C-alpha cells in the first residue's frame, strides 16, 4: 500500500556538520599530541636534545 507523505531525507545533515567541526578540533589536537612532548620544548633550544632522549628510550 502506498502512502504519500513528506520525508526529509537530509534530516541529519546539521548534526553531521557539527560532528565535522568536532572532528577538526580533535584532529588538530591529536596531531599535536602525536608530535610528541619533547620536541616542542627542546627544538628551539637544542636540536640534539630530542635525539638524545630517543636514544635513551631505545636501550
| Binding track, positions 25-44, relative to other proteins; x by CB under 8 A | -xx--xx-xx-xx-------
Residue 19 touches other proteins, criterion: CB under 8 A: yes
CA distances for 57 relative to 6, 39, 40, angstroms: 62, 15, 18
> What DSSP state is assigned to residue 43?
H
Radius of gyration of the chain (CA): 24
Binding of residue 57 to other proteins (CB under 8 A): yes
Could you list the residues that contact other proteins (CB under 8 A)? Answer: 1, 12, 15-16, 19-20, 23, 26-27, 30-31, 33-34, 36-37, 54-55, 57-59
Amino acid at each position: 500500500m502506498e502512502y504519500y507523505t513528506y520525508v526529509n531525507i537530509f534530516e541529519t545533515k546539521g548534526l553531521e556538520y557539527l560532528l565535522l567541526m568536532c572532528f577538526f578540533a580533535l584532529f588538530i589536537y591529536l596531531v599535536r599530541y602525536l608530535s610528541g612532548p619533547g620536541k616542542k620544548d627542546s627544538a628551539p633550544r637544542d636540536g640534539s636534545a630530542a635525539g638524545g632522549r630517543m636514544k635513551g628510550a631505545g636501550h
